[in-house]
Amino acid sequence: MFPHAVTVTVKRPGGRDREGDALPGTTHTIGGCAVYPRTSTEQDPTGAAVTVITGRWLIVPFGSDVTSDDRIVLGDGTEWSVEGDPAPWQSPFTGWQPGTQVGLQRAKGA
């Protein structure tokens, strides 16, 4: 669908066992994606340091396995948190399913 599509890596946490210890997570890749800028804000709640929060939109093929608990690694090696639930797009007129929109967020500083 995208002539210059990218491949991303999805890192999924493994949860916890009965004793509360972390279980190993899993990773998988998704090809045919698009990434573009969203927002960037600066916060300084304490007056001591500035935190920069940057957002991106990720479009993955419809039906791709992405959840709100995942972390996404882009082709440049940066790692992002999924913000909210992925939102699949589907035309109410034709049923066309162009993809799923995923909000990404990353914080630096503080």
SS (H, E, C) 78-110: CEEEEEEEEEEECCCCCCCCCEEEEEEEEEEEC
Dihedral sign computed on CA atoms, order 53, 77, 66, 102: positive
* 69 vs 11: CA distance, rounded Å: 9
User: Average pLDDT of 83-93?
Assistant: 94
Domain interval for residue 27 = 6-37+57-100
Flag whether 89 is in a domain: yes
Flag whether 44 is in a domain: no
Flag whether 47 is in a domain: no
44 or 17, which is more confident? 17
Predicted pLDDT of residue 68? 96
Sequence-distant (6+) residues with CB within 8 A of 55 are 37, 38, 39, 40, 83, 103, 104, 105, 106
Tell me the chain's radius of gyration from C-alpha atoms.
Answer: 16
* 82 vs 12: CA distance, rounded Å: 11
pLDDT beyond 60 at 110? no
Predicted pLDDT of residue 79? 96
Flag whether 14 is in a domain: yes
Flag whether 68 is in a domain: yes
Q: How many domains does the chain have?
A: 1
Predicted pLDDT of residue 74? 97
Flag whether 106 is in a domain: no
